[in-house]
Amino acid sequence: MIKRVLELAVIGAGLFVFGVLALSNISFAQQPETPLDLTDYRATMIRLLGDVVDSRRFAGGTPVIEAVGASDDPLYIAPLIDLTYFARTGEAAGALFNALSALSGQDFDRDWTEYQNWAASNDITLPPGYDEFKGLVFTTFVDPEFARFFNPGVQETARVNLLEAVWGGVIVDGIPSLVNARQITPEEATAEGERLEQFCRGADCSYPANDEFVFGVSIDGDSRAYPLRLLNWHEMFNDVIGSAPLYDAPDGEVVCNFRAPTEFSAVARQGSEWVQVFGQSAGCPASGWFEAPETLVWAASWDDVQAELPDLADDPAEALAGQDGVRGQVDGTPVMLAYCTLCGSGVLYDATVENLVVDGEDLGTQVLEFGSTGMLMRSNKLMYDRTTDTVWNALTGVPAFGPLAETDITLERLPVVVTDWASWQEEHPDTSVLSLTTGFRRDYTNGGAYSDYFNDADFLMFPVWQQDTTEQENKEVVFALLINDTPKAYPLETIVPETVVNDTLAGEDIVIVARATPERDFFEPGGAAVRAYERGDFEFSAGETEREVVDQNGDVWSVTEAALVGPDGQMLERLPGHLAFWFGWFGFYPETLVYEPTI
């Protein structure tokens, strides 16, 4: 069903563009005829596109496509493959596939995927001006916004073969990323689920459901849950994670942890040590007090803010009106989760880039916000940052092409876990959870998105030329680690029975703690809550509870989100890792090691 939807999307996009051309009375065929110079790649590629467009509206054949097919010039293979994506039926399709067969020496009939995989596996050479041509193709058939990713010169600095960037069936940001989306308490979430009956799964209106999968993130004590039922529709969140204790009065009791990046309004202070604020953060009252206000985030310096705020130590009755206060935020860590639904991987990144230089301009430290390009590479999401329009690989955190492709920037990975809601809430009773009211209209029913794709083990929606199913099936879920540039995959079916895995990777002693999540009547990328930690000189085994491990001396260690914590307070830090479908991981790390069972 999903495949059919994609086919209809492709056809619909093409018909829309042709309709616009017709209404505008614009035609490639109406342009003055000039002799065809096959050595002028840019001009010829544009005329190839013209043949495809005009063949839908006028009789007269496809002379440019036929001439290219007879040219014996392999540089035209990539442009032909791009055009066949959008013209798989009709007069142009036959000419395109005939030309492809002639230039490539391959006979894949009219199977675009086979041609794409063959060309990608051979890393075929691209013609000059291919970047502009590709942008023009996507602009013509899909969305003018694609042009900004394919500026002249992009292919010279690209880290990937631009042929592999294929349209994913949506416009730019057609799968909208979440930006600082509202977090609520578990109690508020339960009420939302009961109120928003359109998202009930049968008679089950619980939100989140106890066995529901969530991305669990905890940074500096701030724990948050991002249910997959929402992220399946958005595939990405940009957020700031961190909190500060809110007091009921100076030197009083802590009433909650006020979360970033929610804005508050500061209305008064007590000396320079305390500031009174109004604001709405999950689980917090409408007002309270922060200690050490100099550690908060202000638009100006704390000294300047301090000068604006009345000191209640001088006049207890004097305070600004809440709406007239000084705006501020709690400090936190800017993060971005890149969730490639098709390859089953949700990777959490630190979104801060230091010493960012673009076109010779030093931008200093920047927090990047990411969106969806609408393109894929080997069925893996290609995202972009909204500061530079660089296209990034979601699985590797590396620029693929665009302004930052020449840099050595790699986004820093952070720990994240896919677990069931009941376990996450039990382990983190102060957690918040993503609200169903995201501002977008989607079917947030539990299991409502990608059901056909997730539950068909043999179905890959887009070309993936780099596969290996000799030992693992394509959609087998693995826990993926990358340490000192050495990748390793730990199949869940292997590590879950072992529970605790002691291993050494790239010279680093590590331990992995895995716990199966509840089975459900539908599948999403998950199956176990898996966390990896440094191991030091210890050998660990399972403890009496899922939140404990025992070392070789019999000492019990606590399993936390930040570290393994020993009885004497010793800490072994957590390592960033994530789940992925095997094909998604292997597609970019073919040299990966694979963990072998020990029991």
For 135, 400, 501, the CA distances from 81, given in Å and listed in that order, are 14, 20, 46
Helix (H, G, I), strand (E, B) or coil at 78: helix
Residue with tokens 């009939």: 109
Task: Quote the pTM value.
Answer: 0.93
What pLDDT does 597 receive?
A: 84
Alpha carbon distance 208, 214 (integer Å): 9
Alpha carbon distance 306, 459 (integer Å): 60
Alpha carbons within 13 angstroms on the beta-carbon side of residue 239 total 24
What pLDDT does 324 receive?
A: 80
Helix (H, G, I), strand (E, B) or coil at 427: helix
What pLDDT does 26 receive?
A: 38
DSSP state of 311: B
Helix (H, G, I), strand (E, B) or coil at 353: strand
For 41, 239, 339, 469, the CA distances from 69, given in Å and listed in that order, are 14, 50, 40, 35
Residue 144: cis peptide before it, omega within 30 degrees of 0: no
How do the domains of the chain map onto residue ranges? 2-128, 178-237+335-434, 243-329, 466-594
- CB 344 within 8 Å of CB 525: yes
**Residue 417 φ then ψ, to 5°:** -135, 140
- Report CA dihedral (575, 381, 400, 180) to the nearest 10 degrees: -70
Q: Does domain 466-594 have CATH number 2.102.10?
A: yes
What pLDDT does 317 receive?
A: 78
Q: Which of 586, 224, 232, 258 is nearest to 434 (CA)?
A: 224
Alpha carbon distance 494, 591 (integer Å): 20
Alpha carbon distance 40, 28 (integer Å): 18
| CA 429 distance to own-chain centroid | 27
Helix (H, G, I), strand (E, B) or coil at 557: strand
Report the greatest alpha carbon distance in the chain: 89
What pLDDT does 262 receive?
A: 95
List the pLDDT tens digit at each of the 599 positions of the chain.
333 333 333 333 333 333 334 333 334 544 546 789 999 999 999 999 999 998 877 666 799 999 999 999 999 999 999 999 999 888 899 999 999 999 999 999 999 999 999 999 999 999 999 999 999 999 999 999 999 999 999 999 999 999 999 999 999 999 999 999 999 999 999 999 999 999 999 999 999 999 999 999 999 999 999 999 999 999 999 999 999 999 999 999 999 999 999 999 999 999 999 999 999 999 999 999 999 999 999 989 999 999 999 999 888 878 777 668 999 999 999 999 999 999 999 999 999 999 999 988 999 999 999 999 999 999 999 999 999 999 999 999 999 999 999 999 999 999 999 999 999 999 999 999 999 999 999 999 999 999 999 999 999 999 999 999 998 999 999 999 999 999 999 999 999 999 999 999 999 999 999 999 999 988 999 999 999 999 999 999 999 999 999 999 999 999 999 999 999 999 999 999 999 999 999 999 999 999 998 76
- Report CA dihedral (338, 341, 346, 348) to the nearest 10 degrees: 10
